[in-house]
Amino acid sequence: MPANEGIPLLNAPHIIFDRDLLRARQRRAEKTGAEKFLLERAAEELFERLGTISRKFARAVLIGMPDAGALKTRLLVSGQIETIDIIGIDDAAETVGGEIAQYDLAISLLSMHWLNDLPGVLAQSKRLLKPDGLLLAAMIGGDTLTELRDALASAESEIEGGISPRVSPFVEVRMLGGLLQRAGLALPVTDVDRVTVRYANALELMRDLRRMGATNALIERSRKPLKRATLFRAADIYRERYASEDGRIRATFEILWLSGWAPHESQQQPLRPGSAKTRLADALRAVEFPAGEKIGVKKN
């Protein structure tokens, strides 16, 4: 793929995640047998969403995708996309610079929530798209692992006399529409897929998180290992507060979906101010009062 002088894909004013540590943990998870049930769910949802779009895409790009090769094969077999490129988020600056406005479709599944500069990456993703090109992405949302967050904070406060960040912060769905508009994308749409997974205990959940490569990668994380007593107390609190009658605990995962289109003249546009042909009062069959005139008050 061609490369020009490049546009930095990550230019974050605040560094939240240790991305070197994150990549190392993801590589380790792949070697030991990664847990991919959330990624598989997102992939199935992606195909459903693409199926509602009655058009074919000549050229698509997968951005920062785990297991991108397998998804690329499935997408090509579907016949809805002719060619697909894959770029990473961290090492794609030159690629992005050379590929501005080259794609009809950009896809990212379960990687953008690890970014230090989400607004910047959304803006760069928009620059990848041709006019009327589509960005379709999924990321982990703010209500994910609320139960684990609560149990760890309570146990650490009780046993160690204070708390440290143990679970990553995630973006809230109410923020995404504004971020898409800020990135220059038209017709933004966001929605939520909430997944509840049941485990035998909190330790089993934590093992799954390690197999996802999704354990604590915060810059501000505590460098001290979690005490064994704190860990087991957290498991007890989790069971006390979030177990069902059968003793199994629940874990909430929230997948946020977002989509937006690179602007094009064919897209639906808002009406110009003053261009309405019917008055609101007429449509509502209401009595209209001039500005400044109060109902029930006789003017002299």
Domains of the chain: total: 1
Asked if residue 26 belongs to a domain, the reply is: yes
Three-state DSSP state, 130: strand
Would you say 2 and 98 are in contact if contact means Cβ atoms under 8 Å apart? yes
Length of the chain: 300
Structure letter (DSSP) for residue 243: B
pLDDT at 4: 31
Would you say 209 and 281 are in contact if contact means Cβ atoms under 8 Å apart? no
Asked if residue 71 belongs to a domain, the reply is: yes
Full strand arrangement of the beta sheet holding 57-63: 81-87, 57-63, 103-109, 129-140, 249-261, 186-199
Domain that holds residue 94: 19-264
What is the end-to-end Cα distance of the chain in Å, rounded?
77
Asked if residue 101 belongs to a domain, the reply is: yes
Asked if residue 272 belongs to a domain, the reply is: no
Beta strand 81-87 with 57-63 is parallel
pLDDT at 277: 62
Chunked in runs of 10, what are the mean pLDDT values of the chain (300 residues)?
34 71 88 90 96 95 90 96 88 51 94 88 92 96 94 94 78 90 94 96 95 87 86 97 96 96 82 58 55 44
pLDDT at 294: 41
pLDDT at 260: 96
Beta bridge partners of 259: 136, 189
Asked if residue 4 belongs to a domain, the reply is: no
Instruction: Pick the closest to residue 108 from 154, 165, 57, 39 (CA basis).
Output: 39
Instruction: Pick the closest to residue 147 from 230, 222, 241 (CA basis).
Output: 241
- Rounded Cα gap, residues 174 and 254, in angstroms: 13
Can you list the alpha helix ranges (DSSP code H) found in the chain? 19-32, 37-51, 68-78, 93-98, 118-128, 146-160, 173-182, 202-211, 228-242, 280-283
Asked if residue 1 belongs to a domain, the reply is: no
pLDDT at 165: 77
Asked if residue 274 belongs to a domain, the reply is: no
Asked if residue 300 belongs to a domain, the reply is: no
CATH number at residue 222: 3.40.50.150
